[in-house]
Structure formats: structure tokens, C-alpha cells
Amino acid sequence: MSTVVIKKDTTEEPFDQDKIARVVTAAGLKPSEGFDVATKVAIWTQSLNKPKVTTFEIREKVIEELQEINPIVADLFSQYEKSKDN
């Protein structure tokens, strides 16, 4: 089952694991670490057994995974994401 992401503006798009890998790598992870985080998040979305998930839910899961790998990058990612909310 493909997961659909509900964005903040209520539009929907297919879940894109590569997008997560790119963003967390840009935040400071090594590419291999970014791939690992994206894979864990993708597995998590599938485990929910829900056809749709919100960007907020994905953000929280990404931060949770980042905290385990690199707390500094987790903080940078969190600050960046929160700045987009303003």
C-alpha cells in the first residue's frame, strides 16, 4: 500500500523516502545516515497501516530518529521545520 502525505495546506502527495533522505542530509547527516533515517521512516509509515499520514506526523518521526543518530542535527532540523511554520 502506498502512503499518501497530507501537507499543511491540505494538499496530498505520495510519500517520498528520497525527499526525507535529501533533507536530513542537508541538515548535516552523512548520506548513509540520511538513507537509514529515511528507510526507518518509510518502514514506520507502512507499519501504521493507514493510507494517509500528515507531514506533522512524519516530522515528529524524523526528529525521533535523528535524536538517536545525531542530536545536534535533530535540533537543527527541528528549528528549520519550526521556522517554516511561522
What 8-state DSSP symbol labels residue 10?
S
The tens digit of pLDDT for each residue in 4-61 reads 999 999 999 999 999 999 999 998 999 999 999 999 999 999 999 999 999 999 999 9
Q: Is the pTM of this model over 0.85?
A: yes
The tens digit of pLDDT for each residue in 58-85 reads 999 999 999 999 999 999 888 888 787 7
CA distance 50 to 27: 28
> Does 86 have pLDDT greater than 70?
no
